[in-house]
């Protein structure tokens, strides 16, 4: 059973510290640049959503997509749907092609900037979302391009989700783990300490984690607590990874089609979920 007397501010700090404890790409280093409570604030926004929630994800790796991002996006999609919202995953090929048979997907494509901007405005008008969230989605750097963790340009393979974030008339949330993702523009100065071609795209609330998928789990911890539903316990990372693997995903670090996230075995994600469940009072 849950302990509903939990101090939510303390819980948020516990979650924030847990999710950067490994400091795999410097997120613990830059954590002081963020005002504590960011997981709590983001979860409050999403807990109120009953309309559309746009979830942008999909980071190009070689000629396909990586597992970090889509796993968390799917977990969050399922949690929000269980609470009565209508999530839509926004992504470009090949992620969009892979997911659209199972999930609501809005496809975005690489192309001429003005045309794609108009498409983003049209989509925002049609969906009229309650929130726009980006999880492990490349963010534009200062020069307008997109870059991976190695500093390589991926602009010719990256559709622009930044336009959705910049022009949304609702709260925007970004989840990232390295500095080159949408939302990292909130902490540009702090990111100068890291070896990364940083994103300059800003959001209302930036969430950081050692693996972006885990950031989704941090939000779901609060949604579980407030709605008396074990939404965290419903997440099965290995099943999502198997589903994505069959569709051609690769690990973003190893670039291999394997059941891992950023070079880590699925047991790492499972242990994060178990610890989050313990923090909100579930016996695990």
Report pTM.
0.96
Closest CA to 273 of 228, 227, 238, 226: 238
Q: Which pLDDT score is estimated for 1?
A: 41
* Averages of pLDDT over each 10 residues, the chain, 284 residues: 75 98 97 98 98 97 94 98 98 93 95 85 98 97 94 93 97 98 97 95 98 98 97 97 95 95 96 98 78
Sign of the dihedral defined by the CA atoms of residues 217, 195, 111, 162, in that order = positive
Predicted pLDDT of residue 153: 95
pLDDT of residue 4: 55
CB-based contacts of 112, cutoff 8 Å, min separation 6: none
Enumerate the β-bridge partners of residue 178.
Answer: none
Give the model's pLDDT for residue 284.
56
Q: How far, in Å, CA of 218 to CA of 221, rounded? A: 5
90, 56 Cβ separation under 8 angstroms: yes
Q: Which fold has domain 8-279?
A: inorganic pyrophosphatase (n-terminal core) (3.90.1640)
Helix (H, G, I), strand (E, B) or coil at 244: helix
Sign of the CA dihedral running 88, 94, 99, 104: positive
Q: What is the rounded CA–CA span in Å between residue 273 and residue 12?
A: 15
Question: What does the H/E/C string look like for 149-199?
Answer: CCCCECHHHCCCCHHHHHHCCCCEEEEECCCCECCHHHHHHHHCCCCCCCE
Domain positions in the chain: 8-279
How, if at all, do strands 86-91 and 52-56 pair? parallel
Q: Whole-angstrom Cα distance, residue 277 to residue 255? A: 31
């Amino acid at each position: 059973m849950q302990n509903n007397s939990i101090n939510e501010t303390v819980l948020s700090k516990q979650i924030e510290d847990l999710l950067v404890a490994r400091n795999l790409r410097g997120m613990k280093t830059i954590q002081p640049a963020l005002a504590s409570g960011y997981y709590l604030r983001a979860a409050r926004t999403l807990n109120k959503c009953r309309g559309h929630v746009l979830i942008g994800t999909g980071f190009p790796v070689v000629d396909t997509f990586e597992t970090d991002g889509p796993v968390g996006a799917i977990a969050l999609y399922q949690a929000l749907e269980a609470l009565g919202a209508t999530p839509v995953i926004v992504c470009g090929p090949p992620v969009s092609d892979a997911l659209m048979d199972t999930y609501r997907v809005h496809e975005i494509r690489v192309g001429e900037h003005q045309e794609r901007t108009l498409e983003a405005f049209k989509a925002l008008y049609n969906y009229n979302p309650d929130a726009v969230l980006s999880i492990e989605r490349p963010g534009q750097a200062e020069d307008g391009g997109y870059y991976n963790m190695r500093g390589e340009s991926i602009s010719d393979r990256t559709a622009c989700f930044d336009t959705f974030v910049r022009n949304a008339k609702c709260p925007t949330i970004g989840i990232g783990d390295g500095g080159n993702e949408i939302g990292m523009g909130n902490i540009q100065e702090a990111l100068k300490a890291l070896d990364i071609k940083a994103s300059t795209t800003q959001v209302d609330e930036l969430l950081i984690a050692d693996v972006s998928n885990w950031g989704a789990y941090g939000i779901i911890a609060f949604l579980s607590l407030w709605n008396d539903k074990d939404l965290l316990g419903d997440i099965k990372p290995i099943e999502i990874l198997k589903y994505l693997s069959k569709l051609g995903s690769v690990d973003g670090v190893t670039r291999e089609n394997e059941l891992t996230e950023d070079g880590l075995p699925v047991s790492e994600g499972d242990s994060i979920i178990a610890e989050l469940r313990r923090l909100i009072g579930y016996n695990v």
